[in-house]
Amino acid sequence: MIIKIDWTLCLVADAEIAGDRDLINIIRQAVAGGVTLVQLRAKKLSASAFLELSLKAASLLRKKKIPLLINDRPDIALACRAGGVHLGQDDMPVAAARLLLGKDRMIGLSVSSLKEALKAEKEGADYVGLGPVFPTLTKDTPLTPLGLRGVREIRARISIPILAIGGITKDNAPEVIRAGADGIAVVSAIMSARNIAKGTRELKSEVKHSFSRKRSG
């Protein structure tokens, strides 16, 4: 059975964004603030360096019972016994990743259109990372932001969880949840916070309140 995931707030822990800072310490602070899921991203690291980082993150998060998703690399996800993998459109196909990871690990796919979202669900992705919702400076991308309307349209057409990403902050997170996202994934909203634990806590509070208002309204 696939691990159970609380989609509320995912930290995309990016090694390049961290720069000279200790990424594991950043993750530790975000965990203290209540992050519910961590995706580890390291586009420029060698396989061996990424594996070493992944093993450290997995060890920390396993003790806290927080799932870890590895960006792009099903092999590293297996090696560090992560909860799953998050793939991009140019990465290994979902079906091939499933052969490697089996049925017990989560496979997510980045999508930026209804067509890609429908295809991801059909091919067996367990969730989609949908974005960019808003303009973002964190990732160099030519993609046009979907906006809240795009989130609503895709939510109406797919049944698997939507983890929204791209330019999401404490101020606009409630709108994203109301549009139909099951949770949000952020990079700079947590990693650039002056106090990471406090910033995480405040962001999570906004998201959880949004879910409460959505259920009651």
Q: What pLDDT is recorded for position 139?
A: 62
Based on the structure, what is the number of domains in the chain?
1
pLDDT score of 82 more than 90? yes
| 1 assigned to some structural domain | no
Residue 1 clears pLDDT 60, i.e. is over it: no
93 domain residue, yes or no: yes
Helix (H, G, I), strand (E, B) or coil at 129: strand
Which positions are annotated as active-site residues?
A: 41, 110, 139
- Summarize the confidence of residues 87-100 as an average pLDDT: 96
pTM: 0.95
Q: Is residue 97 a part of any domain in this protein? A: yes
What residues form DSSP beta bridges with 16? none
Read off the CATH number of the domain in which 37 is found: 3.20.20.70
Domain ranges, residue 157 = 9-216
Is 18 among the domain residues? yes
Q: Is residue 204 part of a domain?
A: yes
Count how many Cα atoms sit within 13 Å of the Cα of residue 172 in the half-sphere of its side chain.
Answer: 15
Residues 6+ apart with CB under 8 A from 19: none
What are the C-alpha distances in Å from 51 to residues 55, 59, 75?
6, 12, 9
- Residue 214: band (very low, low, confident or very high) from pLDDT cuts 50, 70, 90: confident
Tell whether 2 is covered by a domain.
Answer: no
Q: Of 24, 185, 2, which Cα lies nearest the Cα of 83? A: 2
Q: What is the structure's pLDDT at 148?
A: 98
Residue 215: its pLDDT value, please?
73
Residue 73 within any structural domain of the chain: yes
Model confidence pLDDT, tens digit, residues 15-34 = 999 999 999 999 999 999 99
pLDDT at 217 over 80: no
Q: What average pLDDT does range 102-117 have in this prediction?
A: 97
Percent of the chain with pLDDT over 90: 90
Mean pLDDT for 111-129 is 98
Residue pair 133/150 in contact by the 8 Å Cβ criterion = yes
Residue 4 lies in a domain: no
Using an 8 Å Cβ cutoff, are 83 and 3 in contact? yes
Distances (CA, A) of 147 to 2, 161, 164: 30, 18, 11
- Residues above pLDDT 70, as percent of the chain: 96
Cβ contacts of 113 within 8 Å, gap of 6 or more: 146
